[in-house]
Structure 1
Amino acid sequence: MKDLDALEHMIGRCALKDRAAFSELYSATSAKLFGVILRVLNNRAEAEEVLQEVYVKIWRNADRYSTGGFSPMTWLITIARNAAIDMLRKRKGAGEQMPEGLAEAMPDAAPGPEAQAVQASEREKLDGCFDELEADRADAVRGAYLDGETYADLAARFDVPLNTMRTWLRRSLLKLRECLSR
């Protein structure tokens, strides 16, 4: 809980345009947000560009963060995810394809063995928590936060109203957070 308080404090200081706090916030959260963006876009160069845009949005909108709601990390991840989805829409609208051979020329960003072991352990715990959710709720959370589907797309896929989908996702995230904190 101490980390959440620290993030809230940094965001609050960013709202006051404290550059040192912004630098601290970037150091504390950029790797996680980059991972979220990269997972949605599957393109390192675009993910780096979107990450920059995300931190500009955070700097400009830090005063909109409200303590007592979702965790500060959820707020940051939502900004990152939405920015990544916007980039996907631009990409689809432009009909662009990645040039052949470009993916092979990029350096391997795969984690080392130690990081893989830690990730495997965290993944097991997260999978266990997903198993505690109803199957359709778990699929909706995966679609929204791992695959970058919009709430509207998910509502259509599960044949529920948009507000119902938002409720499913909010409640599911709360259950996941509770499970992960055990």
Structure 2
Amino acid sequence: MEKDVHLKLISATALGDRKAFAALYQQTSGKLLAICINMLGNRALAEEAIQDAYVKIWHNAAEYQRHKGTVLTWMISIARYRALDILRYQKVRKEEPMLNEAEGNAIDLETLADTGSVHQLNRCIGELPQEQQQAIHLAYFNGYSHQEAVHYLDKPLGTIKSWIRRGLQQLQRCLTR
């Protein structure tokens, strides 16, 4: 099982095993890069985010806590937060906006990887009500803050937070079926 392999590799990485870290990178970098490209809309910035994320993963491998989620989920959150930092930095510098406009409510996750889990995630997202799909897309794939999603969707903050929370709960239930 992929989760068990990742767990063994992160455990060995925590002990300083460079070969285990290289194997972990080989198995996960495509997924993390696709997420960052989707968020940043720019491959060079995504590669920068991934490089920083893997440095953090190497240094903090011992901090991984199994009860909080899978190794891949932990790694995705590190890469996602790094991409969000880059987005915020770009906004502060008032450069070209890096956020992709949400086109309708379609969420294209096919670029993540060609695995069954991605197809399952796509299926589960497709089962969400349209407003939850869009709110989750804005927050998790385009890196919008809740406040930015409020302005984009022209809905109250509480509504946006509820859509995201309920949508994530539905996704979790769907993915564990």
- Give the TM-score range, shorter chain: 0.7 to 0.9
- Under a length normalisation based on structure 2, what TM-score does the superposition of the two structures give? 0.73
| Distance in 2 between residues matched to 1:77 and 1:144, nearest whole Å | 14
Counterpart CA distance in 2 for 1:96 and 1:34 is: 22
TM-score scaled by length of structure 1: 0.71
Q: CA deviation at 1:39?
A: 0.7
- 1:70–1:43 Cα change, 3 Å: same
1:132 corresponds to which letter in structure 2? E
Give the aligned CA root-mean-square deviation in angstroms.
Answer: 3.3
Matched-pair identity in %:
32
User: In structure 1, how many angstroms separate the alpha carbons of the residues matched to 2:66 and 2:148?
Assistant: 29
In the TM superposition, residue 152 of structure 1 has moved relative to its aligned partner by 5.9
Query: Where do 1:4-83 residues align within 5 Å?
Result: 4-83=3-82
Please give the residue correspondences for 1:1-182 in structure 2 after superposition, counting only pairs within 5 Å: 2-97=1-96, 126-150=121-145, 153-154=148-149, 159-160=157-158, 167-168=165-166, 170-178=168-176
| Greater C-alpha Rg | 1
Counterpart CA distance in 1 for 2:12 and 2:59 is: 12
Q: Give the letter aligned to residue 30 of structure 2.
A: A
- Give the partner amino acid of 1:6: V
Q: Which runs of 5+ in 2 are unaligned?
A: 98-109
CA offsets per residue over residues 68-116 of structure 1, 9 Å max, x none?
3222211111111110010011111112249xxxxxxxxxxxxxxxx99
The alpha-carbon distance between structure 1 residues 14 and 173, as it changes in their structure 2 partners (threshold 3 A), is farther
Alignment CA distance shift 1:78-1:169 (3 Å)? farther
Are the structure 2 counterparts of residues 126 and 93 from structure 1 closer, same or farther at C-alpha, using a change threshold of 3 Å? same
Contact residue 37 and residue 47 of structure 1 kept, 8 A:
yes
Assess, with a 3 A threshold, how the Cα gap between structure 1 residues 97 and 131 changes in structure 2: closer, same or farther. Answer: closer
Which residue is equivalent to 2:106? none
Contact 1:141 1:172 in 2 (8 A): no
Distance (Å, rounded) in 2 between the aligned partners of 1:25 and 1:93: 34
